[in-house]
Amino acid sequence: MPVEEAEQHHRGIRRHTLGQAGRTHRGDQATYPAHPAVDAFFEQLGGALPVAGEAAFDVFSALTGTLTTHYAYLAALTSWAAGHGIPADDAEHYVRGLFQAVGRALGDETRSLRQLAADHETPKGNNERIRTTWFDHTNAATLDSALDGLLTDLRSRQDPSTGSATE
């Protein structure tokens, strides 16, 4: 069943709109409320994650708002390398390879995200230095604040006819 048909047939079911990322999305698709036909449809696309309530669904919606920031971060790394004399194509190829490896490591769900970070970090090494000097408590708090602001907006922009956040 196509997404549009699933949405039409099951009014009131919410799912995330992931844009371009949704076309290749291989992970779980958060849905609310749970519905057997809709959840079965998303299982075929990579997985369904029926969530318990609208508040939880909104949190997952906020998390999807970080996708383009991740790509912008990778582009910034590439630009930084190019600014230091590395040909832009080489820099992009290298950064893509690094983060494709990260993607593969994420597939190991026996290790928490904190464990994966520790696995890739040498005490007093390059990774620890960037993590502790750039992604410090202040930056983590700024990220929390940005996500909290998005969550507030998501909860205030509900379409009363469908219960879905407006895009």
The predicted-structure confidence for 26-41, as pLDDT tens digits, reads as follows 677 888 888 888 878 8
Q: Is residue 160 part of a domain?
A: no
Instruction: Check whether residue 74 and residue 47 sit in a common domain.
Output: no
CB 157 within 8 A of CB 166: yes
In a domain, 62, yes or no: no
Which tokens sit at 30? Answer: 């958060």
Tokens 């969530």, residue? 51
Position 46 scores a pLDDT of 76
Among 64-68, 89-93, 116-120, 160-164, the least confident range: 160-164
Domain of 9, in residue numbers: 3-53
Does the pLDDT at position 3 exceed 80? no
DSSP per residue, 103-137? HHHHT-TTS-HHHHHHHT--TTSHHHHHHHHTS-H
Same domain, residue pair 47 and 84 = no
| Average pLDDT along the chain | 83
The 10s digit of each residue's pLDDT in 80-125 is 999 999 999 999 999 999 999 998 999 899 999 999 999 999 999 9
CATH code at position 113: 1.10.3730
Question: Which runs of E-coded beta strand occur in the chain?
Answer: 14-15, 29-32, 48-50
Q: Has residue 15 got a pLDDT over 60?
A: no
Verify that 80 and 147 share a domain, yes or no.
yes
Is residue 34 located within the same domain as residue 105?
no
User: pLDDT over 90 for what percent of the chain?
Assistant: 56
Number of folded domains that form the chain: 2
Q: What is the pLDDT of residue 4?
A: 53
